[in-house]
Amino acid sequence: MPDLVLEGLTRTFGAVNAVDHVDLTIKAGTFVCLLGPSGCGKTTLLRMIAGLEEPTSGSLRLDGRDLTHVPTHRRDFGMVFQSLALFQHLDVAGNIAYPLKLRNVPRERLEARVGELVDLVRLKGFEHRAVSKLSGGQRQRVAIARALAVEPSLFLLDEPLSALDAKLREAMQVELRELQRRLGITTIVVTHDQREAMTMGDLVVVMNGGRIRQAASPTEVYRRPADAFVADFIGTTNLIKVRRKGEVLLCEGGQLPRADIAGEGIVSIRPESLALVRPDRGTIVGTVSFVRDLGASVETFVSAGDQSYIVVASPDAWSPVQAGDKVGLTVAPGGVLVLPS
Amino acid sequence: MKRERPRALADYLPVAVPTAVLAIFFVMPFGIMVAISFFKRVQGGFYTPDFVFDNYARFLSAFFGRVLGFSMGLAALVALIAVSIALPFTVQLAALRGRAQVAWLVALLAVLSLSEVIIGFAWATLFSRTAGISNILAFLGAMARPVSLSPSFGAVLTGMVYQAFPYAVLILYPAVVRLDPALAEASRTLGASPVRAFLTVVLPALRHAVGATLILVFVFALGSYLLPQMLGQPQHWTISVLVTDQAVYQSNLPFAAAMAVFLVLACLGLIGIATLVGRQKELA
């Protein structure tokens, strides 16, 4: 099975390392999400894989074949761009047929393949529609069908869903994931949306400052983040400075149960692992600074000294408090996560 | 922004000044020219108001037909060459960093500020036997001895393309800059070589801008009357040269006006046909 292997891949712009010695092996058929804040190098990394950006150093191999200096048009990868880059002078079928025509696919086979792809992305009846007359989701599907037309060995998507509204985006995430599973094609998606990454990815690659901070399954990056950056970027978390004292960890406003830490360090506690209790029952005591009722859940912000804690609870489990109330906090068993410093 | 239809007469006020300028400096002189084209010429004098078709009749000869054909052909060739050089140039220019782009655009504007006379003399010198580029070629051994390259058709063509090139770039530039760079990249990821991506995606995406530029450069080149005289032989003279000749040297304003009117009509006709053909293709 063809694996994609990146070794020490680096791209420098001036004095900045946009991508800094990235090593990554992607198994065939994996759905990978490159996740990170803007400017973290995820798009540059994807563009290097596509051949649109020349690596400053490092190498790229697919199935043992060195692709580092192979020009884009000989890589046979399918790519969906953030702007979609649909060809306005061609209709839906024309866009999908474009890569096939470049390869001089005979007319009959070409038409059959376009028909298959139109079915695949559920655009039957729209073949001869101008791309400018399509909705956002339909345009998205044309871009996907066009990129998949020649059955590429690698399917790359650069923030493909960022132009869609929230509802449609969630629907497309599921659709994209199902499509990928059906075709079994190795897929790499760049996104800055951690929910999107968690929905679609087999492997979530969290990047920051041009480096990979963690590459693991969605559950693992959430439950066992490699460092404070990952813990903070994936979902919401409380990053708490602690100091070991005997059997407990001291923190602002009180103490936490013992964890595997010596001296000083940082722990992460997910908001759902904290619970609000009466001040005398909590291990941490603080003052409510803000309450945000989102309907499905309630977020309570509690400040204690310099530290701010976020507590998330379902409305049923939440005891009514308001800003200024003194409250206690308790941690669910196993809720304290020690982060390597 | 929502635009409301003008209702009262006062709503037209903002366009009053441009309309007046157009009317006074464009429509009226053009009207006078059309009128004069029907006037009767007084031999050795000027003209008297009349309504005769003599001037147009004189024009309908093999000689003027040939000159008109040559003028149109030359203008079309200039437009074609200038745009074929300007398009790849502008695409490359748009890929440069901001500051480099500004430098190039300033240089192009500098060329535009040169008068046609200076351009004509500069090229005449460059094409001369004594001080021209053939001297360099002879020095380098590419040529046995320096030759005079002007006056000739090639010299006229070169001078006019040189003059039209900055126009072509400046007209194409806004459209090229707006073009999504991802289009060419998408084409390359789909299997097109850079040249093929340009031909199959970039060029079609810019087809309207290219069409408009071709027409504008064509009209611009059609009006050129100095360069054909300075760099060409009499058989390379265009209708514009003959119009100048009749109006200025032969004092035959009615005939010059008739030729100018005919040139405008022929030009509008060609542009009309080009637009129709373009629209037909769009529908197909």
Question: What pLDDT does residue A155 have?
Answer: 94
Question: What pLDDT does residue B48 have?
Answer: 79
Distance from CA of A63 to the nearest CA of B (A): 19
Residue whose token pair is 């059609």 = B222
Q: For B186, which of A51, A76, A85 is closest by C-beta distance?
A: A85
- Tell me whether residues B183 and A85 touch, CB distance under 8 A: yes
- Tell me whether residues A81 and B207 touch, CB distance under 8 A: no
Distance from CA of B273 to the nearest CA of A (A): 22
Question: What pLDDT does residue A188 have?
Answer: 95
First to last CA, chain B: 34
Closest chain A residue to B199, measured at CA = A102
- Mean pLDDT calculated for residue range A263-282: 89
Closest chain A residue to B188, measured at CA = A73
Q: For A52, which of B183, B185, B192 is closest by C-beta distance?
A: B185
- Tell me whether residues A85 and B180 touch, CB distance under 8 A: yes
Question: Is the per-residue pLDDT at A50 higher than 90?
Answer: yes
- Mean pLDDT calculated for residue range A292-309: 90
Question: Is the per-residue pLDDT at B74 higher than 90?
Answer: yes
Question: What pLDDT does residue A105 have?
Answer: 92
- Tell me whether residues A87 and B188 touch, CB distance under 8 A: no
Question: What pLDDT does residue A166 have?
Answer: 85
Strand locations in chain B (E): 40-41, 47-48
Distance from CA of B201 to the nearest CA of A (A): 7
Question: What pLDDT does residue A19 have?
Answer: 92
Spell B125-153 as b/e; 16+ CB within 10 A means b: ebbbeeebebbeebeeeeeeebeebbbeb
Tell me the one-letter amino acid at A101. K
SS3 content of chain A, % helix, strand, coil (to 5): 30, 35, 35
> How, if at all, do strands A203-208 and A211-216 pair?
antiparallel
Tell me the C-alpha distance between B190 and A151, whole Å.
11
Question: Is the per-residue pLDDT at A11 higher than 90?
Answer: yes
Distance from CA of B226 to the nearest CA of A (A): 41
User: How far does CA A163 lie from the centroid of its chain?
Assistant: 16
Question: Is the per-residue pLDDT at B262 higher than 90?
Answer: no
Percent of chain A with pLDDT over 90: 56
Question: What pLDDT does residue A341 have?
Answer: 66
Q: For A73, which of B180, B183, B193 is closest by C-beta distance?
A: B193
Using the Cβ of A81 and the Cβ atoms of chain B, whether some distance falls under 8 Å is answered with yes
B46 or A12, which is more confident: A12
| Tens digit of each residue's pLDDT (9 = 90 or more) over A151-191 | 898 999 999 888 888 888 888 899 899 999 999 999 999 99
Using the Cβ of B185 and the Cβ atoms of chain A, whether some distance falls under 8 Å is answered with yes
Give, in degrees to the nearest 5, the angle at Cα B38 between B32 and B41: 100
Tell me the C-alpha distance between A309 and A240, whole Å.
9
Interface test with B, best of A67, A102, A188 (most B CBs within 10 A): A102
Highest-confidence segment of A192-196, B79-83, B98-102, B242-246: B79-83
Question: What pLDDT does residue B2 have?
Answer: 61
- Mean pLDDT calculated for residue range A206-229: 91
Using the Cβ of B200 and the Cβ atoms of chain A, whether some distance falls under 8 Å is answered with yes
Please tell me what DSSP assigns to residue B6.
P
Question: What is the overall mean pLDDT for chain B?
Answer: 86
Distance from CA of B90 to the nearest CA of A (A): 20
- Tell me whether residues B191 and A50 touch, CB distance under 8 A: no
Contact A176, A144 (CB under 8 A): yes
Tell me the C-alpha distance between A96 and A113, whole Å.
9
Tell me the C-alpha distance between A290 and B246, whole Å.
88
Identify all chain A residues contacting B201, using CB atoms and an 8 Å cutoff: 87
- Mean pLDDT calculated for residue range B111-115: 87
Question: Is the per-residue pLDDT at B90 higher than 90?
Answer: yes
Tell me the C-alpha distance between A59 and A25, whole Å.
12
Contacts of B105 (CB under 8 A, 6+ apart): B93, B170, B173
Closest chain A residue to B281, measured at CA = A89
Closest chain A residue to B206, measured at CA = A89
- Mean pLDDT calculated for residue range B94-105: 90
Identify all chain B residues contacting A102, using CB atoms and an 8 Å cutoff: 190-192, 196, 200
Q: Among residues 151-170 of chain A, which lie with CB inside 8 Å of chain B?
A: 156
Closest chain B residue to A155, measured at CA = B189
Q: For B192, which of A73, A79, A83 is closest by C-beta distance?
A: A73
- Tell me whether residues B201 and A88 touch, CB distance under 8 A: no
Interface test with B, best of A49, A70, A73, A79 (most B CBs within 10 A): A73
Distance from CA of B35 to the nearest CA of A (A): 46
Question: Is the per-residue pLDDT at A75 higher than 60?
Answer: yes
Contact B190, B182 (CB under 8 A): no
Distance from CA of A329 to the nearest CA of B (A): 51
Question: Is the per-residue pLDDT at B45 higher than 80?
Answer: no
Closest chain A residue to B194, measured at CA = A73
Identify all chain B residues contacting A82, using CB atoms and an 8 Å cutoff: 182
Using the Cβ of B11 and the Cβ atoms of chain A, whether some distance falls under 8 Å is answered with no
Contact B207, B175 (CB under 8 A): no
Other C-beta atoms lying within 10 Å of the C-beta of residue B103: 12
Q: For B188, which of A73, A87, A146 is closest by C-beta distance?
A: A73
Q: For B189, which of A79, A83, A88 is closest by C-beta distance?
A: A79
- Reported ipTM: the value is 0.82
Q: Among residues 207-246 of chain B, which lie with CB inside 8 Å of chain A?
A: 207
Band (pLDDT 50/70/90 cuts) for residue B283 is: low
Contact A120, A96 (CB under 8 A): no
Question: What pLDDT does residue B282 have?
Answer: 63
Band (pLDDT 50/70/90 cuts) for residue B281 is: low
Using the Cβ of A25 and the Cβ atoms of chain B, whether some distance falls under 8 Å is answered with no
Q: For A73, which of B180, B182, B191 is closest by C-beta distance?
A: B191
Distance from CA of A50 to the nearest CA of B (A): 7
Phi, psi of A316 (to 5 degrees): -65, -40
- Mean pLDDT calculated for residue range A130-140: 91
Identify all chain B residues contacting A78, using CB atoms and an 8 Å cutoff: 189-190
Closest chain A residue to B190, measured at CA = A99
Percent of chain A with pLDDT over 70: 99
- Mean pLDDT calculated for residue range A69-94: 92
Question: What is the overall mean pLDDT for chain A?
Answer: 90
Highest-confidence segment of B42-51, B155-164, B236-245: B155-164
- Tell me whether residues B188 and A72 touch, CB distance under 8 A: yes
